[in-house]
Amino acid sequence: MNLIFLGPPGVGKGTQALQVAAYAKLAHVATGDILRAAVKAGTKTGLEARSYMDSGRLVPDEVVNRLVRERLEEKDTQGGVLFDGYPRTPAQAQSLDAALRELGRKISGVFDFQAPDAVLVERISGRRTCGKCQKAYHVKFAPSKAGESCETCGGALVQRSDDKPETVQKRLDVYRKDTAGVGDHYRKAGVYQAIAADGPIGAITEDVLARVKRLA
Ligand SMILES: [Zn+2]
């Protein structure tokens, strides 16, 4: 079984991906992780990716696709893969189709996690981290008992600049622009499923696992 999890920042797809990958014994494949691993291992494609990152440029689609293709040749992916946040564009989706076809594999299901922008902005912009011990909080969903300070070590809670509401809205806009057409690509292939992800995490996990069982 090969699954794709799509969804904007803050939708909680990463948490769901880890649970489903463990449950269905799938290799968890996220492009950020592949990129870091390839750079660390010093592979040819990894070094190429690094030259872009070192100069502050975005790693081009073609290099990302090649990294994914190389990752699919590793043994642990033979029992199935959960792609987390990839493909992000229709061009990446086509490249993934071709790579899987070459390997005699195919996508079993694409889960598109959806929530209104207002919910996503509230979730992300409420995040705080202790500047001293890195403990994570949320002003609404997991507030510190010590108010503006860390309840464990007393450190000041800080907000990542990426998590400020206006930046979050920009990140969401970029996500929608990049991914436009990816859902349709898989709808045409008959493997697309939309997941309502604005409710409690436990209920979403139950829904997702039931869908995975139906695909197995
Ligand atoms: Zn702390």
Instruction: Give residue 216's pLDDT.
Output: 85
Query: Mind listing the pLDDT tens digit for each residue in 66-106?
Result: 999 999 999 999 999 999 989 999 999 999 999 999 999 99
Q: Both ends of the chain: CA-CA distance in Å?
A: 7
> Domain with 204 in it: what CATH number?
3.40.50.300
Kindly state whether residue 35 falls inside one of the protein's structural domains.
no
Query: Mind listing the pLDDT tens digit for each residue in 133-153?
Result: 999 999 999 999 999 999 999
Tokens read off for 97: 């189709």
Print the domain residue range for 103: 3-26+79-115+174-215
Instruction: Give residue 148's pLDDT.
Output: 93
Instruction: State in Å: Cα 125 to ligand 1 middle.
Output: 19
Kindly state whether residue 65 falls inside one of the protein's structural domains.
no
* Strand ranges of the sheet holding 192-196, from the earlier edge strand across to the other edge: 27-30, 81-84, 3-6, 109-114, 192-196
Instruction: State in Å: Cα 192 to ligand 1 middle.
Output: 42
Instruction: State in Å: Cα 154 to ligand 1 middle.
Output: 6
Question: What are the residue numbers of the active site?
Answer: 13, 88, 127, 160, 171
- Number of domains comprising the chain: 1
Please give the Cα distance from 197 to 11 (Å, whole number). 6
Instruction: Give residue 57's pLDDT.
Output: 86
**Rounded average pLDDT over 109-134:** 96
Instruction: State in Å: Cα 138 to ligand 1 middle.
Output: 14
Query: Mind listing the pLDDT tens digit for each residue in 12-47?
Result: 998 899 999 999 999 999 988 898 999 999 999 999
Kindly state whether residue 94 falls inside one of the protein's structural domains.
yes
**DSSP three-state, residue 119:** helix
CB 160 within 8 A of CB 48: no
Kindly state whether residue 153 falls inside one of the protein's structural domains.
no
Kindly state whether residue 135 falls inside one of the protein's structural domains.
no
Instruction: Give residue 112's pLDDT.
Output: 97
Instruction: State in Å: Cα 146 to ligand 1 middle.
Output: 11
Instruction: Give residue 32's pLDDT.
Output: 85
Identify which of 170, 24, 46, 45 has the alpha carbon closest to the alpha carbon of residue 109: 24
Please give the Cα distance from 78 to 56 (Å, whole number). 34
DSSP class of residue 162 equals G
**Rounded average pLDDT over 140-168:** 95
Predicted TM-score (pTM) of this structure: 0.89
